């Protein structure tokens, strides 16, 4: 199976390279993204801004070895919601590692092959054996705290179908107005006034909008996301000390 979401790092690297005045061959793991990210917000553990009523959305508690994260699943991505809840009920995620972390960008998990994987092994190839059709919604975007599905690259996946199990949580930093304008121009992205405000103040990964299905968001535990994203990692962006999902539980 092809590696899921390698394109995440590629897109991020290409964007950063285009934004930086000096060329660099460093990987995102070496924090080159700091040159292209605004630091206008003082509280990087601030919760993402909600654009909808969270009260009636189904929530899932993800207990990790670093603390608890609670996410809300959007109703307008029913295929992803149904699949995620099925995997939670089946205990699929219990024992799975966070196998890729890039501080200021995202943390990724959901590869069943990561369970018990030896140290230093490159992960990200596993899944449940199926994909999910993309469910792109303009109102679902990659703000800080967004939960989105990983996927294979466009070359082998032109429909941008999602991995059946791998997902990531955006640990994004703010982008200033100049960078937002450059993203719009370079990637042909369009943003509402509200989205621009969120990206410029709270942060996210705006260059991924319309390419990956966002199907939920963190409602509690962004401090845990930040903590995981900041851990030491190897050349594959895998944490050098395993960070596990201990259990998942549907709250509502």
Least confident of 3-17, 62-76, 169-183: 3-17
Domain boundary assignment for the chain: 6-19+55-117+127-250
Tens-digit pLDDT profile for residues 158-205: 999 999 999 999 999 999 999 999 999 998 999 999 999 999 999 999
Q: Is the pLDDT of residue 126 over 70?
A: yes
What confidence tier does 4 reach under pLDDT thresholds 50, 70, 90?
Answer: low
**pLDDT at residue 55 in the model:** 82
All residues at 6 or more sequence positions from 188 whose CB lies less than 8 Å from its CB, including other chains: none
Q: Is the pLDDT of residue 72 over 80?
A: yes
Q: Is the pLDDT of residue 97 over 50?
A: yes
**pLDDT at residue 30 in the model:** 21
**pLDDT at residue 53 in the model:** 72
Q: Is the pLDDT of residue 46 over 80?
A: no
Choose among 192, 184, 67: nearest CA to 137.
192
pTM for this one? 0.84
In this prediction, residues 82-111 reach a mean pLDDT of: 97
**pLDDT at residue 101 in the model:** 97
Q: Is the pLDDT of residue 8 over 90?
A: no
The class of domain 6-19+55-117+127-250 in CATH terms is mainly beta
What confidence tier does 42 reach under pLDDT thresholds 50, 70, 90?
Answer: very low
Least confident of 19-33, 35-49, 53-67, 216-230: 19-33
How far is it, in rounded angstroms, from Cα 126 to Cα 112?
A: 6
How far is it, in rounded angstroms, from Cα 116 to Cα 49?
A: 36
* % the chain with pLDDT above 90: 77
In this prediction, residues 199-226 reach a mean pLDDT of: 97
Q: Is the pLDDT of residue 48 over 60?
A: no
């Amino acid at each position: 199976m092809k590696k899921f979401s390698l394109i995440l790092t590629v897109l991020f690297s290409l964007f950063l390279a285009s934004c930086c005045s000096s060329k660099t061959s460093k990987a995102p793991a070496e924090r080159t993204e700091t040159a292209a990210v605004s630091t206008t917000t003082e509280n990087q553990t601030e919760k993402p801004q909600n654009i909808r009523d969270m009260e009636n959305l189904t929530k899932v508690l993800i207990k990790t070895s670093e603390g608890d994260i609670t996410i809300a699943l959007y109703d307008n991505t029913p295929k992803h919601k149904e699949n995620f809840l099925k995997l939670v009920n089946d205990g699929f995620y219990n024992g799975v590692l966070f196998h890729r972390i890039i501080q200021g960008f995202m943390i990724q998990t959901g590869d069943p092959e990561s369970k018990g994987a030896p140290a230093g092994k490159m992960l990200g190839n596993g899944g449940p054996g199926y994909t999910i059709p993309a469910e792109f919604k303009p109102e679902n975007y990659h703000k800080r705290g967004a939960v989105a599905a990983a996927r294979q690259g466009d070359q082998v996946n032109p429909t941008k179908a999602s991995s059946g199990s791998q997902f990531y949580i955006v640990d994004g930093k703010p982008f200033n107005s100049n960078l937002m304008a450059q993203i719009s121009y370079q990637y042909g992205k369009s943003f509402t006034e509200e989205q621009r405000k969120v990206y410029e103040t709270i942060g996210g990964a705006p260059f991924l909008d319309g390419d990956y299905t966002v199907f939920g968001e963190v409602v509690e535990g962004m401090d845990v996301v930040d903590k995981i994203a900041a851990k030491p990692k190897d050349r594959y962006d895998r944490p050098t000390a395993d960070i596990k999902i201990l259990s998942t539980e549907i709250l509502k």
